[in-house]
Amino acid sequence: MAGQPQAGAGTVLGNTAGTGAPASRPVTLPGAETPTHAPSAAAMHAARQALARGHWREAAQHLGALDSDADTAAMAVRALANLDAAAAVYACTEAAARHPLVAGLRYLESLLLLGQGRAADAERAVRQALYLEPTLIVAWLILGRVLRRHGDASGALKAWREAEQLCNALPPDAPVPHADGESASRLAEVARGERSRMEAAQAAGEELS
């Protein structure tokens, strides 16, 4: 179905998310800067032209986001996110439906949704990712941030503890899947920091945000 999505988009940098950017603003996802098999320059040009006409599905097809290979689809979604975040959400949702057992696509979907400020939808997507792959560290980190936005302090703390424990079970320098080359020790530090900040906020009687 043609027509560019109208939802606003945010910016996702590594494992962080913000909100409030226009839908056409690029989004950087883990692995987006140096994908192993990036779409060609011709494909990117064709995708830009399709987006200019308001055809997100055509843009997704040019980049390979609807490919039968899940890895190709994931790389294409990342590339599309650099052009139009809202279009990337639509493409990622469709790619995830085509590859229902691939946790990484649901994780990417959750990042994009969280970047648009759609926390409830992001929670749904990240929980689906964790159902498929319970040891997906980056998904636990994102779940913690989503639950913090919902005001669920205990749920957020539990998610970050789980992420930290999973990191600690790996060699310190082991790269964490879907984390753009970040090591287990680095993400353990991230999880610890998130948890410590929330515990400090609770102790000070501050509201969650």
Q: What is the DSSP code string of 33-63?
A: SS-TTPPPHHHHHHHHHHHHTT-HHHHHHHH
- Whether residues 114 and 140 share a domain: the answer is no
- Whether residues 207 and 104 share a domain: the answer is no
What domain range includes position 62?
1-119
- Whether residues 101 and 183 share a domain: the answer is no
User: Where does 22-162 show beta strands of DSSP type E?
Assistant: none
Give the pLDDT score at 99.
Answer: 94
Q: How far is CA 67 from the centre of its chain?
A: 19
Last residue within a domain, chosen from 119, 145, 180: 119
Choice between 57 and 18, residue whose per-residue pLDDT is larger:
57
Provide the number of structural domains found in the chain: 2
Give the pLDDT score at 18.
Answer: 34
pLDDT band at 24 (very low <50, low <70, confident <90, very high): very low
The reply to whether 124 falls in a domain is no
- Whether residues 33 and 81 share a domain: the answer is yes
The reply to whether 171 falls in a domain is yes
Please state the rounded mean pLDDT for residues 92-108. Answer: 94
Task: Tell me how far apart the alpha carbons of residues 179 and 193 are, in angstroms, rounded to a whole number.
Answer: 17
- Whether residues 101 and 164 share a domain: the answer is no
Last residue within a domain, chosen from 67, 86, 119: 119
The reply to whether 127 falls in a domain is no
Whether residue 113 has pLDDT greater than 50: yes
- Whether residues 4 and 48 share a domain: the answer is yes
pLDDT band at 17 (very low <50, low <70, confident <90, very high): very low
Give the pLDDT score at 63.
Answer: 84
- Whether residues 9 and 112 share a domain: the answer is yes
- Whether residues 81 and 29 share a domain: the answer is yes
- Whether residues 175 and 85 share a domain: the answer is no
The reply to whether 52 falls in a domain is yes
Whether residue 26 has pLDDT greater than 50: no
Give the pLDDT score at 106.
Answer: 96
Give the pLDDT score at 11.
Answer: 28
- Whether residues 140 and 74 share a domain: the answer is no
pLDDT in tens, 119-175: 999 999 999 999 999 999 999 999 999 999 998 999 999 999 999 999 999 999 999
Tell me which residue of 160, 185, 178 sits closest to 108, measured CA to CA. Answer: 178
Last residue within a domain, chosen from 119, 143, 158: 119
Q: 37-41, 106-110, 120-124 — which is least confidently predicted?
A: 37-41
When the pLDDT of each residue in the chain is averaged and rounded to a whole number, the result is: 82
Pair 87, 4: CB distance under 8 Å: yes
- Whether residues 89 and 190 share a domain: the answer is no
